[in-house]
Every structure is written in C-alpha cells, then in structure tokens.
C-alpha cells in the first residue's frame, strides 16, 4: 500500500504543466518521475520559435501562481521569455533531475493496482499514479495538398521553424491565417521581397497594445508583489469572466463588444476596400479562436504583401498553383496550418481495466469526467484533458485549477484512504451529456470551422463559464468515483 513516502507518480511531458505537477507532487512527498519525448523541457514554448512569436495571453496572467514573474518585458511577452521562465522555475525547484529525456511513453498498462510504464528506452517500472501533461497544441497538422513534396524551395511547419533559412529578400508564402500566421506576417514583412498569405478563411482580429514594461515598472513589481497580483486579478477578470463568459453565451454584451472591436479594427486599419473585403469573415467573432494583434493589419497592407484567397490547387517545384491557374512563385513556404489538439495519448498504448485501451474508449470521441479522468483507467489523471477550457484563456490557470483537484485525489491515495480512483461510467456519461447539451449555446457552434472541433464534429472546449470550471473542480465528490477502500489494517 502506498504511503507518504513511497507513492510513485509518473508524469508524461515536461512542458509547463508537467513541470508544475512535478514541483507540486515533489513538495507533497511523492516520488516523481517525468518522461519527456524530446531532449529539452518547455513543451510548446520549446517547439515554437517562429519569428514574431508572442503569447497573446497577458504575461502576468500566463504564469504559475507560485512563481510570479516581475521581469516580463511586455504585456504580451515573446515566446523565448516564456521558455526561459519555465526553465528558470524548473531550475529554482530543482526538478530537472526528475526528467528522463528522449523517453516517449509508448505503453501504459494497469495491472494489480499499478501502472506499468514503457518508453522508447524500455521498461520503466510501475507507478501508483500517472498524470498526462502532454499539452494541447502540440501535434503539427501538415496540410493535405498535392505536390507539397515537390517544392524546390524551403518548406517547414511554423512549429518546426528552420532558422538556417534566411528570409532576407526572398519570396515567402504562408499557408494559414491563424494566430501563428498573423504573428509571422508582422515579424517578417519588412525583411522579405514579397509575402504571399494563402487564406482559406479570414479571421477576426482584435487589436491590443503590447505595452513595454519599463525598468521602473519591473522594479515596482519586484518590490511590490501586490501590484503584480492586482494586474493578474484584472486580466483574470477580463478574460475569465468577460471573454470566457461571452463565448459560452453567458455575456452577450461582452460578445457584442468583441464583435464591434474586431469590426472597428478591420475598418480603421484596412483602407483598401478590396483587401478589407477579403479579410472580412462571415461568422461571429470568437467562433474561431480570437486573434489578438495590432500589427497584422498594418503589415498585410504593405505594398510587398498580398492575400491570396483562390483555393490552393497544388504545390509545384516553383511555388503554389491556385485554382485560377496562377502559379505564385516562392522561395520559402511556411505551413502555419495549426495543430491537432485532440490526440492526447493517442500514440501511447494505454491499457486499463479489463484490457480496454484508451484509444478504444475514445474511438468515437474523447471524453473525461470533469476533464480529469476516464472510467476504466484508474489513477490516470489528465491536465488539459478533454473539454478543458482552451483557446483565449491562460492555459496555466486552467492547468493549476485541474492540478489542485488532481492533487486532492492523489492525496487520498497517498494517505492510504483509497487505492484506486476511477470515475463511475454513468456519472461520466451524464457529465458528457450535459456538455453536449450546452455546446450549441456557445459561439464556437455558431457556424464556422475551427480546431475546437474533432473529427466527429464534437467541440473540445468547456461550454460553461470559468467560474463554473473552478466550482466543478473545487472539491472531489467521492460518490462520483468507484473507489477501492482499503480495509483497516491492510
Ligand atoms: P490555426 O488557428 O489552427 O490556423 C491554421 C490555419 O491554417 C487556418 O487559417 C486554416 O484555415 C489554415 N489551413 C489549414 N489547413 C489548410 C489547408 N489544407 N489549406 C489552406 N489553409 C489551411 O493554427 P495556429 O495559427 O498555429 O494557431 C493554433 C492555436 O495556437 C491558436 O488558435 C492559439 O490557441 C495558439 N497560438 C497561440 C498564440 C498566442 O499568442 N497565444 C500564438 C500562436 C498560436 P481554416 O481557417 O480555413 O481552417
């Protein structure tokens, strides 16, 4: 029986949330092992290094509650600063020694109350608890376009940026108009000879000024952590209670303000009527993940930039051929075509009770009890699991809320009260049905295609307010779990 000293926990992934879980569980006295498939920590902030990368969630909101950071350079800081922040937090808490790099988890099998874990490096032994912290925007989507392999220039996905390739004076094509493409456009337009943006669907863009924090500001933050806390509270209130409520149909006034803010941004900053018409979406703001940028419109209006709306027919050796027959000659082609956020542990064989695999359980769509755990898979917990609040939220806040709940469940096992924590099937099904009933009321279901949808047409986000998320995860209801209670003295 596990006790305070010997409870073993395997964490999958050394991104921001895996690092957070390792720190917290280590402090709680668990024996923690982190398995990371790459050779470095940092997750999405390790993978994404494209020019212009910033986090459009305010930096003072995008931090761990236990590690406020007075050093953020801007309201929306660059990706490299976030990577440095995660690394620094890991170092400050001495957790890197817990990480096995180059160790992709290939198999998890639940046997006799423990998870047997295998990685690409072989058998790693058994663990009482497994926590998946594999992130969400992690698996790059490569577009299914004929001839992509025949392109003679340089071609790479935005999250696999090839820094050996200079863009100086080149003809650069970008496929996609999501947050990534928008940031890249702003960063490279002045360096390239010509920038061709291949747009399948226009996006709503909200302008937000990216204020620089002066040395004086930072000194103030260092000396007065309360000031950072106030900034945090203010951003959390705007995002979680304003934006998050708006997109789930609980704050129509805020949704109208977002819509009118986007329209104003477009109308004021795109003077050319033909370009404006190309960039005008035919769906509601917030339906796709909202883009935040005050540089995109001025950048795409420059004389060396163009937006191509004709459908891509194929890629040829010299460039992209569109359906109107035009060949757009290019030296470099960037695939800013996004990620598949619905894969979770799809590449790992996860075998639960009675030999059920997670891929079988999720063969018609992912689901979890309150985003956290899945019937038949005891003591396996997800940070950022199915239907987590995602999109224009601080994922770190979502993750900390989930982790606090998971920690309570782990604590029951750690103290020997329970050996197995697994949600009841009927309770999970009822939760899933409630989610499905709520989805049509969200703006994501209002008539657009986005990465929120999985291949079955299910929306993978949280259809209620952030306050409800916090409330649902405030305290585990033990009656919702099938629990194996240790008999006294065992
Ligand atoms: P995305 O939002 O999924 O955008 C992918 C783009 O590629 C879309 O414009 C899509 O068009 C287009 N596309 C995909 N396949 C295509 C094809 N075969 N032909 C033509 N166009 C194709 O991806 P992303 O921009 O990488 O952003 C993903 C998410 O990452 C964001 O929504 C955000 O949550 C996060 N992110 C955050 C930040 C930040 O600042 N916090 C920065 C970057 C990314 P359709 O719209 O027609 O599908």
Distance in angstroms (rounded) separating the CA atoms of residues 107 and 105: 6
pLDDT at residue number 485: 53
Digit-by-digit pLDDT tens for the chain (490 residues) are: 455 557 999 999 999 999 999 999 999 999 999 999 999 999 999 999 999 999 999 999 999 999 999 999 999 999 999 999 999 999 999 999 999 999 999 999 999 999 999 999 999 999 999 999 999 999 999 999 999 999 999 999 999 999 999 999 999 999 999 999 999 999 999 999 999 999 999 999 999 999 999 999 999 999 999 999 999 999 999 988 889 999 999 999 999 999 999 999 999 999 999 999 999 999 999 999 999 999 999 999 999 999 999 999 999 999 999 999 999 999 999 999 999 999 999 999 999 999 999 999 999 999 999 999 999 999 999 999 999 998 777 899 999 999 999 999 999 898 878 889 999 999 999 999 999 999 999 999 999 999 999 999 999 999 999 999 999 999 999 899 997 654 333 3
Q: Is 156 helix (H, G, I), strand (E, B) or coil?
A: strand
pLDDT at residue number 488: 35
Its pTM stands at: 0.96
Of all protein residues, the one whose alpha carbon is nearest to atom 31 of ligand 1 is 179
Q: Looking up tokens 């470095």, which residue turns up?
A: 40
**Cβ-based neighbour number of residue 454 at 10 Å:** 18
Question: Please, are residues 428 and 386 in contact by the beta-carbon 8 Å criterion?
Answer: no
Question: Please, are residues 393 and 466 in contact by the beta-carbon 8 Å criterion?
Answer: yes
Rg (CA), the chain: 23
Distance in angstroms (rounded) separating the CA atoms of residues 18 and 99: 10
Report the DSSP beta bridge partners of residue 292.
Answer: 206
Distance in angstroms (rounded) separating the CA atoms of residues 63 and 67: 7
Q: Rounded to whole angstroms, what are the CA distances from 398 to 236, 401, 453?
A: 11, 5, 19
pLDDT at residue number 417: 80
Residue 297, classified by CB atoms within 10 Å of its CB into exposed (0-12), middle (13-18) or buried (19+), is buried
Residue 336 CA to ligand 1 center (angstroms) comes to 6
Of all protein residues, the one whose alpha carbon is nearest to atom 43 of ligand 1 is 180
Query: Among the atoms of ligand 1, which is closest to the Cα of residue 289?
Result: 32
pLDDT at residue number 405: 98
- Beta-strand ranges (E) seen in 60-189 are 99-100, 105-111, 114-119, 122-127, 129-132, 139-140, 154-157, 171-175
Can you give the three-state secondary structure of 105-141, one letter per residue? EEEEEEECCEEEEEECCEEEEEECEEEECCCCCCEEC
The edge-to-edge listing of strands for the beta sheet with 380-382 is 99-100, 31-35, 8-12, 129-132, 380-382
135 lines ligand 1 (CB under 6 A): no
Which residues 6+ apart lie within 8 Å of 279 measured at CB? 199, 202, 266, 270, 297, 300, 307
Query: Among the atoms of ligand 1, which is closest to the Cα of residue 390?
Result: 34
Of all protein residues, the one whose alpha carbon is nearest to atom 41 of ligand 1 is 55
pLDDT at residue number 394: 85
182 lines ligand 1 (CB under 6 A): no
Report the DSSP beta bridge partners of residue 96.
Answer: none
Residue 438: CA count within 13 A, CB half-sphere: 19
């Amino acid at each position: 029986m596990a006790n305070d000293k010997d409870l073993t926990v395997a964490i999958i992934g050394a991104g921001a949330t895996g690092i957070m879980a390792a720190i917290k569980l280590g402090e709680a006295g668990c024996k923690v092992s982190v398995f990371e498939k790459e050779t470095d920590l940092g997750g999405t902030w390790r993978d994404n290094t494209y020019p212009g990368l910033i986090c459009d969630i305010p930096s003072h909101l995008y931090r761990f509650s236990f590690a406020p950071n007075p050093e953020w350079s801007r309201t929306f800081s660059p990706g490299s600063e976030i990577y440095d922040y995660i690394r620094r937090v890991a170092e400050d808490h001495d957790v890197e020694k817990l990480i096995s790099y180059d160790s992709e988890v290939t198999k998890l099998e639940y046997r006799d109350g423990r998870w047997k874990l295998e990685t690409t490096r072989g058998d790693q032994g058994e663990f009482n608890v497994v926590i998946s912290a594999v992130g969400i925007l992690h698996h790059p989507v490569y577009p299914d376009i004929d001839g992509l392999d025949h392109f003679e220039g340089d071609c790479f996905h935005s999250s696999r940026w090839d820094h050996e390739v200079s863009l100086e004076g080149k003809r650069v094509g970008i496929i996609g108009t999501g947050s990534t493409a928008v940031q890249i456009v702003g960063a490279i337009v002045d360096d390239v000879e010509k920038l061709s943006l291949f747009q399948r669907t226009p996006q709503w863009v909200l302008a937000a000024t990216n204020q620089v924090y002066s040395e004086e500001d930072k000194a103030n933050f260092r000396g007065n952590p309360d000031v950072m806390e106030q900034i945090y509270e203010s951003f959390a209130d705007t995002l979680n209670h304003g934006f998050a409520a708006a997109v789930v149909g609980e704050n129509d006034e805020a949704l109208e303000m977002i819509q009118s803010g986007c329209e104003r941004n477009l109308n004021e900053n795109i003077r050319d009527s033909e370009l404006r018409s190309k960039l005008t979406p035919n769906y509601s703001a917030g339906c796709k993940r909202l883009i935040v940028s005050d540089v995109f419109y001025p950048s795409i209006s420059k004389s060396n930039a163009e937006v191509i709306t004709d459908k891509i027919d194929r890629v040829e050796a010299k460039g992209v051929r569109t359906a109107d027959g035009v060949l757009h000659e290019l030296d470099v082609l960037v695939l800013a075509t996004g990620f598949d956020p619905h894969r979770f542990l799809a590449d790992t064989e996860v075998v639960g009770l009675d030999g059920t695999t997670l891929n079988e359980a999720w063969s018609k769509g992912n689901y979890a009890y309150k985003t956290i755990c899945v019937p038949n898979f005891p003591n396996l917990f997800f940070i950022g699991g199915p239907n987590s609040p995602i999109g224009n939220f601080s994922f770190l806040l979502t993750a900390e809320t989930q982790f606090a709940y998971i920690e309570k469940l782990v604590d029951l096992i750690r103290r020997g009260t329970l050996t197995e924590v697994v949600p009841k099937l009927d309770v999970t099904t009822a939760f899933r049905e409630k989610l499905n009933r709520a989805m049509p009321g969200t703006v994501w279901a209002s008539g657009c295609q986005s990465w929120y949808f999985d291949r079955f047409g299910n929306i993978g986000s949280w259809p209620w307010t952030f306050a409800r998320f916090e409330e649902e995860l405030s305290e585990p209801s033990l009656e919702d779990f099938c629990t194996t209670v240790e008999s006294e003295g065992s």
